A and B are shown apart, each in its own frame.
Chain A
């Protein structure tokens, strides 16, 4: 089997707020093969977003290590930002489009940050917008787009720099059932075409089921759910993680 494109070993993450310690992750292991797509499910507050941020190198953990294409990732170190531009694409629940930029400019933004030739990148961005079905919306501003259309732009943006991995944190969370399903089709097909690995965080069981590998974050550990009981709520998910502390 080929070397994992992203590998996490023994990740522990504890939040401190006042005297309270919230152990969110207690030794998460994950190996993502190139082009593989996986889903991560878990109760609200189980630490899915925390894990995604750690995998993206946006946050640091107390223990464990993270490798991108076999090379260690150290958050806060110089050079990581540039590695991120070409390694990673991210899709968020709330889209996070830049409101001052139109669809095309939003898709181009990662290319600008990576500092590549803008003329060539513009061609690619137009192609990507075509691919996600927004050829008619190229010059529209985010405020002129529907939720589903905004998420299409965000998906095109995530693909802009030919990333090896796309991390998607509840990308269908703000969309209705039908649009969400369409978006899943789109994400899966564009990732398959580009050979990009996909990590999908979702509450939505049908969406999760469509992935090659389904994982569940429970009690701070990531479990393979291939053998988990097919029905019924995951037991005790809400109790163990404690009261979600408000941190502003």
Chain B
């Protein structure tokens, strides 16, 4: 080992003595910064992942539409289904209706689903809070939790539904009778846009309500895991005839996903300053060391040490402190994240905010997702910043002349 690394190690971990207090403090600074960065980024990732999977579950990976009603959709579906990446391609019709129960009106979105879960791109079953898939028929409906709440409906309730087609009939002064549907299930996807105001019915009922005959509005596509929705959408667009357009969920939710990503990057950038501030404490603690050890640094020169070796000694100390702080920070972050649910629930109990957490964030368990890339970036930048923090003291030390060092008191 070169002597300057040896001295660096000895100055940090003196023989027979404990870690120096100053160095412990500055290491703790880096540790906290790194831990915070990892925790925040991992939780952000967790939320991001959660949100993305909710989007996929409620929107499907890809939707193929053709401007208006698709009449020859069977052929299109077969074409789509022939792509090896496609797991399920299911037709759907969607729109808006007016629903009423005991004079309480609502204007929910309505969407059709296939009754066989293997044929439906949207995993409704997974989000059914009460009721059962088998119960849905052409005279019944699944309500989202928010809609059920608004209407005061529960399984077994009957609601009245008016479709836009009925308005047409109304203009022709036909007798208008609403469609009576029995609520047979309540679902909750955790995706508020959907949960507030949605109802699910069979395709046949939807075609009836909207007068579509055999037509549908589009084909929803679920992919086998590991396929990129954008790529598959592009591939489908190459194959499908003109009016048909396949759009991935990333494409349709572009703005939202961009904000999600931006938020993460901005947070990273801001939190990185915690590490920078911690690095300043490394700088000052090493500068104190340089001043305290002026005569020793002179001695190294007198014993034949070169200025750049003396500089390396202090740079290496910055690097080591950064490395130690970063390592401890990673350990701390992993520990905190491991016990996150206990921490959150204790916090919720103390502040009595469990209900609020559930309502606003739709979770009580904090979602966490580790991305290797984040770890590499965080660890890399923390160590780099700490090494840079050693540069100023190193420069000071290397410029110290032995003659001046020996004369300093």
Contacts and interface: CB of A to CB of B under 8 A. Distances in A.
Interface in B68-87: none
A192 interface: no
Contact of B406 (A92, A99, A100): A92
Given A102-B16, A141-B16, A81 B299 contact: no
B402 interface: yes
Contact of B299 (A49, A53, A96, A102): A96
B301 A85 contact: no
Interface in B1-44: 2-3, 6-7, 10-11, 14-17
B303 A113 contact: yes
Contact of B302 (A58, A78, A114, A248): A58
A113 B300 contact: yes
A100 B10 contact: yes
A17 interface: no
Interface string A94-132: 101011111001000110111100000000000000000
B401 interface: yes
Secondary structure at the B interface, as helix, strand, loop or mixed, is: helix
Interface string B355-372: 000000000000000000
Contacts of A85: 303-304
B305 interface: yes
A93 B304 CA distance: 19
**A58, A98, A100: which has the most chain B beta carbons within 10 Å?**
A100
A217 interface: no
Interface residues of B, number: 27
Contact of B303 (A59, A110, A115, A141): A110
Contacts of B6: 112
Contacts of B3: 109, 112-113, 115
Contacts of B306: 78, 81
A164 B302 CA distance: 15
B171 interface: no
A35 to B, nearest CB: 22
A96 B17 CA distance: 19
Contacts of B10: 98, 100-101, 105
Contacts of A82: 304
Contacts, number: 71
B247 interface: no
B407 interface: yes
B403 interface: yes
A156 interface: no
Given A98-B299, A112-B6, A81 B304 contact: yes
Q: For this complex, into which size category does the number of interface residues on chain A fall?
A: 20 to 34
A49 B407 CA distance: 9
A155 interface: no
B304 A110 contact: yes
Contacts of B305: 81, 113
Contacts of B7: 98
B401 A59 contact: yes
Interface string B84-113: 000000000000000000000000000000
Contacts of A139: 16
B351 interface: no
Nearest to A84: B304
B408 interface: yes
Contacts of B61: none
**A58, A78, A139: which has the most chain B beta carbons within 10 Å?**
A58
Contact of A59 (B14, B15, B403): B403
A83 B402 CA distance: 16
17 contacts: A49-B407, A58-B302, A58-B403, A81-B301, A81-B304, A84-B303, A90-B302, A98-B296, A98-B299, A100-B11, A100-B14, A100-B17, A109-B303, A112-B6, A115-B3, A141-B16, A248-B407
Given A81-B304, A110-B304, A113-B304, 4 more contacts: A78-B306, A90-B303, A114-B304, A141-B17
Sorted nearest first, the 9 A-B pairs with minimum C-beta distance are: A85-B304, A100-B14, A112-B3, A84-B304, A100-B10, A58-B402, A59-B403, A96-B299, A53-B403
